[in-house]
Amino acid sequence: MDHLSRRDFLNHAVRGVALAGLAGCAGPGTGLQGNLPAGGKRPNILFIMSDDHAAHALSCYGSRINKTPNLDRIAREGARFENCFVTNSICAPSRACILTGKYAHMNGLMTNRDTFDGNQQTFPKLLQKAGYHTAMIGKWHLKSSPTGFDYWTVLPGQGRYHDPRMIEMGEKTRLVGYTTDIITDKAIDYLETVRDRSKPFCMMVHHKAPHRRWEPDEKHASLFDGVKIPEPDTFNDDYTNRATPASRTTMTIEKHLTEKDVKGKPPEGLTPAERKSWHYQRYIKDYLRCVASVDDNVGRLLDYLKESGLEENTLVVYTSDQGFFLGDHGWYDKRFMYEHSLRMPLLVRYPGVVPAGTVNDEIVVNADFGPTFLALAGLSVPEDMQGRSMKPVLEGRTPRDWRESMYYHYYEYPAVHSVRRHYGLRTKRYKLIHFYHHMEQWELFDLKKDPDELNNVYADPAYADIVAKLKVELERKRRELRDDSAEGSLVTHPDFDRAYSVEIGKSPFGYEITSGSNGVAMKKTPTPFRKSVTFRCRLKTRRKDGTRNGLIAFGQDGDPEHLVKAGVYIGANNIVILHGRFGCREKDIVRKKVKFDKAGTFDVTVQVDLEKKTVTLEVGGTTLTGPLGRNWKEINYYGFFLHRTVTAFSQLQVVGS
């Protein structure tokens, strides 16, 4: 667990962690507990977070590909956490979780498309109320303006690597230079000239680097020139014996890095394997060059703390908003619950409290950060925060009831990189993952035997008891965290082979189907249709307002995102042929405006010619024809598609060959 002997640890604790009362530390109404380090002095808090910095790109975590001497210094003089995990591996949700101490389904920010509600409780607001001077500098990425900070200057959106625009206390500015340097300059200037020196400070310093598109500064531009970076052991993973989402992502080194990502075109005449390796070298070197700049600038901040006399009473934390794939499994980016995406680096230095050289393997999550800062400041942790204070863990006295598993939930699909929605549980040995959105697939990994997560043992009879126990624990976690946010779960119905995000009842026609977001009810054909097929049905909406639609869906596989849908948008007075999901790109839609009796009954016919690659839709005598838009050789599934509505359908009449 740590590199100190028990005797050395106890001696260190006696010298540095003598707890005292809080007389004179704060006025009434601050919520202080009287549980502070020596002398009752509240710590300054310096929280440094980079973006997409994988733990295996820090040398203190055993990196094979780079050195990070300044970050290693924090680990050497404090603690390194081996099992720190993100609860939703994507930028904005992780940031919201850190601020609020709540999981995404509770703080309302589940995807990068969402906007953070700045009116809610955050740990900076609670520190501010208790007498801290608070600051936020760097990448914010939450769309709304920062709240709870006495001073803030942030990058708009993702920000730029060079000559960035920033928003300082609501005023837009333009700066010249490299963003990682500028953010550090701003942080040092805050410590030197802006902060109220009569108060302890809490400063959050958020770097853009090493986020895509990995643009290094001039100082590090030639770092690694002439060096071949080793490829990961799983670089050529073929995703066999895994759930299907692993093979369907759009974040591979081989196919999905762009010319802007790798800063040019590969040489002519390369084999596919050589081209993939060329992409990797171009990507990973720029990524590591950006990391080197972060490391240098962390060193600048550490040096400033020492030179200014702030080092002894300042808690320093370094982390990243999540992990990242560095060619592992052939990928870049994050999102999956697999290890390189799930694991966050976490380094903590607090002289006199955290024993130097500690290596801790307790399971902690990003929701724990805020409660920890509050507890170290002597404040009560609000009951509605779902994270837990790591203060006793940092002090070397882990509670007996500390968590033995962590819970994860990823929501952003359909979206860039095509990682399917999933939730899961990780213990120190096992990981159980449930892909649930328009599919029903499970994975179980035995991390002791299979640390690279190459062998899904969910269906292995030898693990049946483990699966059963982990499912019980997974549901206990979901209840404890009050997470009922999973949409698109599998529905069982005798007339349909695949039904998701719907409720299927009876109507005078046949079925009454209620949809959530993008609901489908699909049946498999007895034999494939390879030439042509005609679908006919009657339908009638049951809703009186809002979205109303009734669409026939068909496809080569049963994946709802691959289906073609054709039918009626009753609310919009359109008949449509869609070659994508609801809300897809305009070029994927063929439509015609039609005046409807919205309370009426519609007769819908869809004809598909697989040889001519056309789709013809007829509704009440009006005809619409469009290209098939899919290079299918056969159709194997057909049924119904709805979006947030209730529609009655007759049974489908199907004729084809």
Predicted pLDDT at 13:
38
Per-residue pLDDT tens digits for 78-93: 999 999 999 999 999 9
Residue that the structure tokens 């015609």 belong to: 592
Predicted pLDDT at 270:
97
Per-residue pLDDT tens digits for 179-233: 999 999 999 999 999 999 999 999 999 999 999 999 999 999 999 999 999 999 9
Q: 560 pLDDT band (50/70/90 cuts)? A: confident
Token output for 300: 């600048």
Predicted pLDDT at 498:
87
Predicted pLDDT at 35:
62
Arithmetic mean of pLDDT, 328-352: 98
Q: Which ranges of 226-333 does DSSP label H, i.e. alpha helix?
A: 259-262, 272-307
Q: Is the bond into 476 cis (omega within 30 degrees of 0)? A: no
- DSSP character string of 112-125: TTS---TTS--HHH
Q: Which residues contact 562 (CB under 8 A, 6 or more apart)?
A: 555, 556, 630
Q: Is the pLDDT of residue 382 over 70?
A: yes
pTM, two decimal places: 0.83
Q: Which residues contact 432 (CB under 8 A, 6 or more apart)?
A: 424, 425, 426, 442, 443, 444, 458, 467, 470, 471, 474
Predicted pLDDT at 585:
64
CA–CA distance, 14 with 17 (Å, rounded to integer): 6
Percent of the chain exceeding pLDDT 70 equals 93
Q: Is the pLDDT of residue 488 over 80?
A: no
Q: Is residue 280 classed as helix, strand or coil in its secondary structure?
A: helix
From residue 193, how far is each of 186, 306, 379 by CA, in Å?
10, 17, 27
Start-to-end CA distance of the chain, whole Å, equals 66
Q: Is the pLDDT of residue 487 over 90?
A: no
Predicted pLDDT at 583:
56
In this structure, what are the phi and psi dihedrals at residue 45, rounded to the nearest 5 degrees?
Answer: -125, 120
- DSSP character string of 565-624: EEEEETTTTEEEEESSSTT--GGGEEEEE----TTS-EEEEEEEETTTTEEEEEETTEEE
Percent of the chain exceeding pLDDT 90 equals 80
Predicted pLDDT at 504:
94
Residue that the structure tokens 């001519």 belong to: 612
Domains and their CATH numbers in the chain: 6-219+291-395 (3.40.720.10), 407-480 (3.30.1120.10), 498-656 (2.60.120.560)
Running DSSP on this structure, what letter comes out for residue 147?
A: -
Higher-confidence residue of 515 and 471: namely 471
CA–CA distance, 607 with 131 (Å, rounded to integer): 70
Per-residue pLDDT tens digits for 8-40: 433 333 333 333 333 233 333 344 444 665 557
Q: Is the pLDDT of residue 542 over 90?
A: no
CA–CA distance, 618 with 216 (Å, rounded to integer): 56
Give whichever of 167-176, 511-520, 580-589 has the largest mean pLDDT: 167-176
Q: Is the pLDDT of residue 161 over 60?
A: yes
Predicted pLDDT at 24:
31
From residue 333, how far is each of 133, 275, 327, 336 by CA, in Å?
35, 19, 9, 9
Q: Is residue 185 classed as helix, strand or coil in its secondary structure?
A: helix
Mean pLDDT of the chain: 91
In this structure, what are the phi and psi dihedrals at residue 510, rounded to the nearest 5 degrees?
Answer: 165, -65
Per this entry, what is the length of the chain? Answer: 657
Token output for 99: 């601020």
CB hemisphere CA count around 203 (13 angstroms): 27
Predicted pLDDT at 17:
34
Running DSSP on this structure, what letter comes out for residue 415?
A: S
Q: Are 147 and 118 in contact (CB under 8 A)?
A: yes
Evaluated on CA atoms 184, 189, 199, 196, the torsion sign reads negative
Arithmetic mean of pLDDT, 95-108: 98
CA–CA distance, 531 with 244 (Å, rounded to integer): 28
| Closest by CA position to 636, among listed 536, 551, 559, 529 | 529
Q: Are 519 and 513 in contact (CB under 8 A)?
A: yes
Token output for 508: 């005078």
Would residue 333 be called left, alpha or beta, if left means φ above 0 and alpha means ψ between -120 and 50 degrees?
left
The residue type at 415 = A
Per-residue pLDDT tens digits for 314-326: 999 999 999 999 9
Arithmetic mean of pLDDT, 141-169: 98
Query: For the chain, what is the total number of helices (H) and then of strands (E)?
Result: 12, 29
Estimate the share of the chain in helix, then strand, then coil, as percent rounded to the nearest 5. 25, 30, 45
Per-residue pLDDT tens digits for 265-293: 999 999 999 999 999 999 999 999 999 99
Predicted pLDDT at 11:
37
CA dihedral 503, 504, 506, 507 (to 10 degrees): 80
Per-residue pLDDT tens digits for 602-647: 999 999 999 999 999 999 899 999 998 777 889 999 999 988 889 9
Predicted pLDDT at 509:
86
| Closest by CA position to 342, among listed 425, 223, 244, 403 | 425
Predicted pLDDT at 8:
40
Give whichever of 480-484, 508-512, 540-544 has the largest mean pLDDT: 480-484
Q: Is the pLDDT of residue 490 over 80?
A: no
Q: Which residues contact 578 (CB under 8 A, 6 or more apart)?
A: 551, 564, 565, 566, 584, 588, 589
Token output for 578: 């869609």
Per-residue pLDDT tens digits for 425-481: 999 999 999 999 888 899 999 999 999 999 999 999 999 999 999 999 999 999 999
451-460, 485-494, 574-583: range with lowest mean pLDDT: 574-583
